[in-house]
């Protein structure tokens, strides 16, 4: 059986919304293709003196609303098709929250786990030099993604700056604070999920302070979302899970204590004594007001979707539901806040970091949080109003908002020459 193209699947989601809004066929044609695809094959000297050639990609889907924006991942399964799809989705993520970016994404086909820190640095610097022809603070601004981090962003920034002959803070985001990073960036995606969950509960007529929450995935996004929902909203986090299994506590977890345990136990929650051990499937079927899948893609599929009992799903991960599962969830009348709205807090604060870098003027943490809350709440409201207008689901409504904004910018700018 032929392998299904991730990009073709992305186009199907786009097509559903384009049909509903009766998008101009000419604009539909333009928006169905990436603007630019760059593939590079580059040599890296390994620690043993040998030379190995790696393949990397950078794709810019659309730049009608501003520079391309999106992460760079290091993974052995990176393909051009995957990077194209991720760049495509980034266009809509930036547009749905109204920030002036287009969509970009990058990746290197590599398993970084056996590489030394020196090999990773040499690989990172050489790759960024190879794609420098299309990146820049006014063209394309990369960020961390799978298996990349703040240190790698610092190497990218330094490499670009050395090649340009002066420091260029705005060429990447997700940098360490000491070299132009932004306060609030680490918590940003989790904070966005926390805001989306609270807004979803209000929309459903619930008192957020009385809500129970189950969180699948206790990494950066899941743990910050859990902590903020408990501390700032008053929710009870009754279920959490990670790759080692799940935990249940009907009285709610002390999230700070659980985070401490995780950090002291190889980043895993298994064995935490203040909860009943459960499976990941048990967590997905938990009787909670809110379910936050914040782990891997396709975690909710046609086999377990029928067991989901939450009234609201807030997608912290990218693509946590298969299309088949989504049909089942829709039949159960569960309210879904889609991924590219719910987890957009990261790209919003990346935008703030970029603005700060351009100005060489850095904001206080509370100003960043206040600005993020404003954008996320306004974006949620815009998508809800669009869902009502077209009598459709939240994911399709989010696409409708995004496509309208990108199509309008494309139409106004025109086709050159």
Map tokens 């090649």 to a residue: 163
The DSSP annotation for 295-352 comes to: SSTT-B-TTTGGG---SEEE--SSS-B-HHHHHHHHHTT-EEE-HHHHTTHHHHHHHH
State yes or no: pLDDT of 8 exceeds 50: yes
Per-residue pLDDT, averaged over 271-288, amounts to: 95
- pLDDT tens for residues 387-408? 999 999 999 999 999 999 999 9
pLDDT at 241: 96
**Domains along the chain?**
34-168+392-417 (3.40.50.10860), 188-337 (3.40.50.720)
Give the separation between CA 74 and CA 295, rounded to whole angstroms: 18
Name the average pLDDT for the chain: 95
Phi, psi of 333, rounded to the nearest 5 degrees: 60, 40
**Nearest alpha carbon to residue 267 among 297, 223, 225, 237:** 223
Position 5 scores a pLDDT of: 80
Give the number of other Cβ atoms within 10 Å of residue 344's Cβ. Answer: 29
- For 139, which DSSP code? T
- Name residue, tokens 């993020």: 372
Query: Has residue 161 got a pLDDT over 80?
Result: yes
pLDDT the model gives residue 332: 95
Q: What pLDDT digit, counting tens, does each position of 192-251 carry? A: 999 999 999 999 999 999 999 999 999 999 999 999 999 999 999 999 999 999 999 999
The alpha carbon of 67 is separated from its chain's Cα centroid by a whole number of angstroms, namely 18
Asked if 217 contacts 242 with a C-beta cutoff of 8 angstroms, the reply is: yes
Three-state secondary structure call for residue 213: strand
Predicted confidence at residue 49, as pLDDT, reads: 98
Q: Supply the pLDDT for residue 1.
A: 45
pTM of the model: 0.93
Q: Tokens for 345?
A: 């807090």
* 102-109/51-62 β-pairing: antiparallel
Structure tokens at 175: 């940098």
User: Which residues are catalytic, by number?
Assistant: 105
Mean pLDDT of the 352-357 span: 98
Letter string b/e over residues 155-186, b meaning 16 or more CB atoms within 10 A of that residue's CB: bbbbbbeeeeeeebbbbbbbbeeeebbbbbbb
pLDDT of 4 reads 65
pLDDT in tens, 116-157: 999 999 999 999 999 999 999 999 999 999 899 999 999 999
Residues 135, 129: Cα–Cα separation, whole Å:
10
The pLDDT, as a whole number, for residue 365 is 97
User: What is the rounded distance in angstroms from the CA atom of residue 132 to the CA atom of residue 209?
Assistant: 48
Q: How do residues 62-81 score in pLDDT, each as one tens digit?
A: 999 999 999 999 999 999 99
2 pLDDT above the threshold of 60: no
> What is the pLDDT at residue 319?
84
How many Å apart are CA 40 and CA 28, to the nearest integer?
A: 29
Would the pLDDT of 334 be above 90?
yes
Which residues, in sequence order, are CB contacts of 11 under 8 Å at separation 6+? 32, 88
């Amino acid at each position: 059986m032929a392998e299904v193209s991730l990009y073709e699947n992305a186009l199907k989601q786009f097509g559903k919304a384009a049909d509903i809004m009766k998008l101009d066929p000419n604009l539909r044609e333009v928006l169905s293709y990436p603007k630019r695809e760059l593939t590079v094959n580059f040599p890296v000297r390994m620690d043993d003196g040998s030379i190995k050639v790696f393949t990397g990609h950078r794709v810019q889907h659309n730049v009608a609303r501003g520079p391309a924006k999106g992460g760079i991942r290091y993974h052995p399964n990176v393909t051009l098709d995957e990077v194209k799809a991720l760049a495509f989705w980034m266009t809509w993520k930036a547009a749905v929250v109204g920030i002036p970016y287009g969509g970009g994404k990058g990746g290197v086909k590599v398993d970084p786990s056996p590489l030394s820190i020196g090999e990773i640095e040499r690989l990172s610097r050489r790759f960024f030099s190879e794609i420098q022809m299309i990146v820049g603070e006014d063209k394309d601004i990369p960020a961390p993604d799978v298996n990349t981090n703040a240190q790698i962003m610092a190497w990218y920034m330094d490499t670009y700056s050395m090649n340009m002959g002066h420091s260029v803070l705005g060429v990447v985001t997700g940098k360490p604070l000491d070299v132009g990073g932004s306060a609030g960036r680490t918590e940003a995606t989790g904070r966005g999920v926390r805001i989306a969950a609270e807004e979803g509960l209000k929309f459903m007529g619930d008192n957020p302070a009385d809500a129970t929450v189950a969180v699948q995935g206790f990494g950066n996004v899941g743990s910050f979302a859990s902590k903020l929902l408990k501390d700032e909203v008053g929710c009870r986090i009754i279920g959490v899970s990670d790759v080692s299994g799940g935990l249940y506590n009907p009285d709610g977890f002390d999230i700070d204590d659980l985070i401490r345990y995780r950090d002291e136990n190889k980043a895993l929650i298994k064995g935490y004594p203040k909860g009943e051990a459960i499976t990941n499937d048990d967590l997905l079927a938990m009787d909670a007001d809110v379910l936050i899948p914040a782990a891997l893609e396709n975690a909710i599929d046609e086999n377990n979707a029928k067991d989901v009992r939450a009234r609201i799903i807030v997608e912290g991960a990218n693509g946590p539901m298969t299309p088949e599962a989504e049909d089942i969830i829709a039949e159960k009348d569960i309210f879904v806040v889609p991924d590219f709205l719910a987890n957009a807090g990261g790209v919003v604060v990346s935008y703030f970091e970029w603005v700060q870098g351009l100005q060489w003027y850095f904001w206080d943490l509370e100003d960043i949080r206040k600005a993020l809350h404003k954008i996320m709440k306004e974006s949620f409201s815009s998508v809800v109003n669009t869902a009502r207008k077209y009598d459709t689901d939240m994911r399709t409504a989010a696409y409708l908002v995004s496509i309208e904004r990108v199509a309008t910018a494309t139409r106004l700018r025109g086709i050159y020459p």
